Amino acid sequence: MVNKEKLYQRFMRDPLDRRLGNLASTLGKISSNARHSETPDIVSNLLDEAKHFIEWTAADAESEIATELVQTQRLITLWQKTWLTAYKDKTQRILLATQAKEWSDRALQNSGLI
């Protein structure tokens, strides 16, 4: 992952709707890479990035959206802790991919960009 401070500065320049859109994009990448990546590191890095994006976004979101983001962040943390083991199981990979796609769709819907 790129330098966290630089990522923060770049990410926070955008308004809330774009930050939610960027989160949706990262979650979409998790979905795609969980299914197709040949190395678990890519997904681990994207999970970490998504956790940071949520942390930096939730405080500025409406309470209902913030609550949803924090719940998503908790689940991402659980996935991140078990990913190296889960990565070896195709069923687990598909489960994360499906869940990340749902999170992505929800973040995009909350952004109002669609």
With 0-12 / 13-18 / 19 or more C-beta atoms within 10 angstroms meaning exposed / middle / buried, residue 5 is exposed
What's the confidence (pLDDT) of residue 2?
58
In the chain, what are the domains? 18-111 (1.20.120)
Is 1's pLDDT higher than 80? no
- pLDDT per position as a tens digit, 68-101: 999 999 999 999 999 999 999 999 999 999 999 9
Per-residue confidence band for 6, with pLDDT thresholds at 50, 70 and 90: very high
Please enumerate in sequence order all residues whose Cβ is within 8 A of that of 62, keeping only pairs 6 or more positions apart, or say none.
none
Q: Which pTM does this prediction carry?
A: 0.94
Pick from 83, 74, 81, 62: nearest CA to 103:
74
